[in-house]
Structure 1
Amino acid sequence: MCVRLFSRLAVGLLLMGGVATAGIPVVGQDGEVPSLAPLVDTVSPAVVNIATRSEIPRSGNPLLDDPFFRRFFDLPQPPRERPAQSLGSGVIVDAGAGYVLTNHHVVAEADEIRVGLQDGRELEATLIGSDPETDLAVLQVPAEGLTALPLGDSDRLRVGDYVMAIGNPFGLDHTVTTGVVSGLDRVLPGNGGARLQSFIQTDASINPGNSGGALVSLRGELVGINTAILSRGGGNIGIGFAIPSNMAQRVMAQIIEYGEVRRGVLGVRVQDLTPEIAQAFGLEQGGGALVAQVAPGSAAARAGLESGDVITAVNGQAINNANDLANAIGLLRVGTEVEITFLRDGRERRVTAVVEDPASGSVSAERLHPALAGARFSELDERSPLFGEVRGVLVTGVEPGSRAARYLREGDVILSVNREPVPNLAAFRRAVRGAERLLLNIRRGESAFFVLLR
């Protein structure tokens, strides 16, 4: 129905000499004015407003924390925290269970989350879980009188398809904008830390507050979760991005089942296979993910993958670049068996690998050295952006308030112990056992430093 009306509108605008006056609707033969209002009326009750409240540390003059200074000038103790509020959007995807899908960055660090419905109700929401890797989160509200938006198949989208964005930009409830799919499989570096990306690009206006809202097809199905815009000044310039509904559905299923995404690892570092590199390898094609490094003892190593292999498909799904492989593996559950198609010496081969739990090979530090109490370590793999750039041991967890928390953070890479390189976990174990003191060389992001432990 809506597709037919939209088509009649487009055709009507081209009539009368190919020119139509802006703002003048075209009346059909039945006297009706084409409109998307019926579709909006149907899907709008499933789109919600999300308001969060949190307490964040207050920054101020350190003198105000000095008891003598406050007593001398008769100043009150300043509050250590200040309230912070934010607004975003969400989509009800399961009316029976009360599940609401939104962005991770909308609810991150929130102490209180409230969901506002179109009928004026405000409901307190529980955070079921979130996934910063895909910037998705799942909330739950009391399941009474809710309307859900059916999930569409985002893989069926084509560039040029009409879509509609619904959300709460700048606090304006249920704002509707329309446009088309401008691109598919887009990657947006630096998008709030999200690493698994395959965005839908659209020119339907997306503005601050739209995050977590719905991108809807003319079938009335949810095909994307609006998440980001590309803009120099912070406003809309017609380039918006949404997380595909198929990716959101897979992430949501794990969050509902486990409260988190139990993401497996393959144990490879890959890069795009450019035409120039393909020529250097004697390959005719330029697409695929070139294996630059295989982690020792990893699932990839056990399957027989080697540096220089070119991965072209996972479970029959074509792999055109490194981002495709990251998405294909990163959305699989731990223990999933995958068939990997790859090229070696110009010949196509296939192997089967089992995506493994990254925590299965981790080691608790209490067994290694008391100075490291509270930390966990594992082999350096694709979980770290430093994989392939440095050789060392990855810090996979640090207990708050522990001894290790004074100097280690999750994601740090230990490069050496007592000036001896530790390229793997076995070397790290040998270096720390029995040592009276530990001189650690730590890589954190783009910086590196030494720490002396006794």
Structure 2
Amino acid sequence: MQLHWKRISLVLASAWVATLLFGLMMSLPRAVNSEAHADQQLRDRAATQNLNTAQDISSAFRNVAEVMRPSVVSISTQTDVSSRARQLSPNLRQQLPPGFEQFFGNGGRRGRSMEPQPQQQGQGSGVIVRQDGYILTNNHVVEGADIVTVELSTGAKVEAEVVGTDPETDLAVVKIDRTGLQPVPFGDSEAIRVGDWVLAIGSPFGLDQTVTAGIISGKNRVQGIVDDGHGFEDFLQTDAAINPGNSGGPLVNLHGELVGINTAILSRSGTSAGIGFAIPVALARPVFESIIENGEVRRGFLGAQVADVTPEVVTEFGLKVSKGALIRGVLEGQPAANAELQPGDVILETDGRPVTTSSRLVNYIASRAPGQSVQMKINRHGEELNVTVNLQLRTEKAMAMFSPRSPWGAELEPVTPQSAKEYGYADLQGGLIVTSVSDQGIAAEAGLQAGDVIETAAGRAVESVEQLTKILAVAKQQQVPLQVVVRRGNTKMLLVIR
């Protein structure tokens, strides 16, 4: 009997173990399925979050495009080539280094015959910056135009007045006789960072209200393409697709704020290659405000020659800093000297903004109005000092103090009633009078003499030494001789400067 119960216990125990094993085996797939289900839920949540993020970005693009639409305009120009061909500056496209294109919007006619036509048309873009009809665009969009027409987002076409231009930044302000317009708010191009989203809006190839998206690819680009390489540049670089006709249009952030004016692209084909350049608002806004207030651009003048701080310069001058703008020279009696700045000083900050290159310093000074004060932090032999500089007006005469002799060996000055009388001229209306010619130089080789009056160069009337110097630079770049019309006494003659 005892043995019987032992057998029964063994049978029951075996059955219990079998039941337990069976239960474990049955529960294992459920556990695996549960883990797989949890993983799938995580993936679904991640996908939903990613989709929501993408939809948020899409909504941001859509909202900015919608709110910007009334503020973006198309600009068309008409020029009487037959009467103005000799007065216009050379086409900016011809002045650009290989690979650069301005956005002239020639409707895809690149490569066709360049024979002059009686009427030449151009196209670009612009952005409304004041509700009373003021529009910001590029200088090269409206330069030399006889008729400028603005087309609003409603389709209405209005003839515009060119209020002022600034070739040194390639900016222009035009105005239409309308009120109640929707201006775009100005953003902070200094605060924008590489990687931030931006939208480019304009009329590429005549397709108005075209919106493209991209990011800020780089900042503080200096390419030497504005005003024959003598202009002010601090470009924002973007990969937002921009093409001919976008020139003068806005580059905006996702808040719908203006951060730049689209100006040029780097391309071998003449169309977008993902490298575009926009004038930052920090540079454009002071130009716009000065044109509105003064009818021209008035810039601050420091009166100092500056250079980049490079490793070579640090070693050569024994500097204690590796960034900033080095003062190489100071003009007596000018703002820098009056503030007791010295050669060898390194400017680190202006009004709390870091100075990383000499070009950024020059741009900032030029963006300030004459009479304004600029707070500077400088390093002098390892010691940091704070200096206040009171800026003066930047004029051609002031700039000539840096290099009083022209690059081709002659002393020139704009004709005045006094100088005309001194050299025996009774009816001069303008031009540059030659006050002296060096024994050596291209001016002497061309046959220029003291007392000559240069009236035109490359078919353009000349009124300043700076203007003539730029025309000469273009001729050298294009490797063509420069033809100048010179008056000598009662005789006019054509001379060639090579």
User: Normalized against structure 2, the TM-score is what?
Assistant: 0.66
SS in 2 for 1:125: strand
- Greater relative contact order (Cα 8 A, min sep 6): structure 1 or 2? 2
Q: For residue 99 of structure 2, what is the aligned residue in structure 1?
A: none
SS in 2 for 1:156: coil
Question: Do structure 1's residue 110 and structure 2's residue 145 form an aligned pair?
Answer: yes
SS in 2 for 1:142: coil
Question: Do structure 1's residue 209 and structure 2's residue 237 form an aligned pair?
Answer: no
Q: 377, 380, 383: which is aligned to 2:400? A: 380
Q: In structure 2, what is the Cα distance between the partners aligned to 1:255 and 1:358?
A: 15
Q: For residue 187 of structure 1, what is the aligned residue in structure 2?
A: 222
- Structure 2 counterpart of 1:157, which letter? I
Offset at 1:449? 12
Number of aligned positions between the proteins: 375
Q: For residue 91 of structure 2, what is the aligned residue in structure 1?
A: none
Contact 1:165 1:177 in 2 (8 A): yes
Offset at 1:226? 0.9
- 1:183-332 → structure 2 map (5 Å cutoff): 183-193=218-228, 195-332=231-368
Question: Do structure 1's residue 56 and structure 2's residue 81 form an aligned pair?
Answer: yes
Q: In structure 1, what is the Cα distance between the partners aligned to 2:398 and 2:276?
A: 38
Which deviates more from structure 2 when the two are superposed, residues 312-321 or residues 41-50? 312-321
User: Normalized against structure 1, the TM-score is what?
Assistant: 0.71
Q: In structure 2, what is the Cα distance between the partners aligned to 1:53 and 1:274?
A: 47
Contact 2:436 2:450 in 1 (8 A): no
Contact 2:376 2:387 in 1 (8 A): yes
Gaps of 5+ in 1: 1-14, 20-25, 61-79, 363-376, 409-413, 422-435
Question: Do structure 1's residue 171 and structure 2's residue 190 form an aligned pair?
Answer: no
Q: In structure 2, what is the Cα distance between the partners aligned to 1:280 and 1:390?
A: 31
Q: For residue 110 of structure 2, what is the aligned residue in structure 1?
A: none
Q: 1:396 to 1:155 in 2, by over 3 A?
A: farther
Q: 1:391 to 1:269 in 2, by over 3 A?
A: farther
Which deviates more from structure 2 when the two are superposed, residues 278-287 or residues 197-206? 278-287
Q: 1:316 to 1:121 in 2, by over 3 A?
A: same
Question: Do structure 1's residue 98 and structure 2's residue 117 form an aligned pair?
Answer: no
User: Over residues 216-252 of structure 1, what are the superposed CA-to-partner deviations in whole Å (9 max), with x where a residue is unaligned?
Assistant: 1111222211111111231111001111123222221
Gaps of 5+ in 2: 1-42, 86-115, 418-425, 441-448, 455-464, 477-481, 490-498
Q: 153, 178, 181: which is aligned to 2:188? A: 153
Question: Do structure 1's residue 128 and structure 2's residue 163 form an aligned pair?
Answer: yes
RMSD over aligned Cα atoms: 4.0
Q: In structure 2, what is the Cα distance between the partners aligned to 1:397 and 1:316?
A: 43
Contact 1:164 1:216 in 2 (8 A): yes
Q: 1:33 to 1:320 in 2, by over 3 A?
A: closer
SS in 1 for 2:300: coil
Offset at 1:388? 11
Q: For residue 374 of structure 2, what is the aligned residue in structure 1?
A: 338
Larger radius of gyration: 2
Offset at 1:417? 2.6
Offset at 1:192? 4.3
Offset at 1:115? 0.3
Offset at 1:315? 2.3
Contact 2:320 2:381 in 1 (8 A): no
Q: 1:47 to 1:396 in 2, by over 3 A?
A: farther
Offset at 1:214? 1.2
Q: For residue 174 of structure 2, what is the aligned residue in structure 1?
A: 139
Q: In structure 2, what is the Cα distance between the partners aligned to 1:33 and 1:297?
A: 55
Q: 1:452 to 1:90 in 2, by over 3 A?
A: closer
SS in 2 for 1:154: coil
Contact 2:243 2:272 in 1 (8 A): yes
User: Over residues 226-281 of structure 1, what are the superposed CA-to-partner deviations in whole Å (9 max), with x where a residue is unaligned?
Assistant: 11111123111100111112322222111111111111211122111101211222
Q: In structure 2, what is the Cα distance between the partners aligned to 1:32 and 1:266?
A: 47
Q: In structure 2, what is the Cα distance between the partners aligned to 1:339 and 1:27?
A: 49
Q: For residue 10 of structure 1, what is the aligned residue in structure 2?
A: none
Contact 1:437 1:453 in 2 (8 A): no
Q: 403, 413, 417: which is aligned to 2:436? A: 417
Contact 1:51 1:113 in 2 (8 A): yes
Q: In structure 2, what is the Cα distance between the partners aligned to 1:396 and 1:333?
A: 25
Offset at 1:344? 2.8
Contact 1:437 1:452 in 2 (8 A): no
Contact 2:303 2:335 in 1 (8 A): yes
Q: In structure 1, what is the Cα distance between the partners aligned to 2:233 and 2:130?
A: 24
Offset at 1:439? 8.1
- Structure 1 counterpart of 2:371, which letter? G
Contact 1:200 1:243 in 2 (8 A): yes
Q: In structure 1, what is the Cα distance between the partners aligned to 2:483 and 2:384?
A: 45
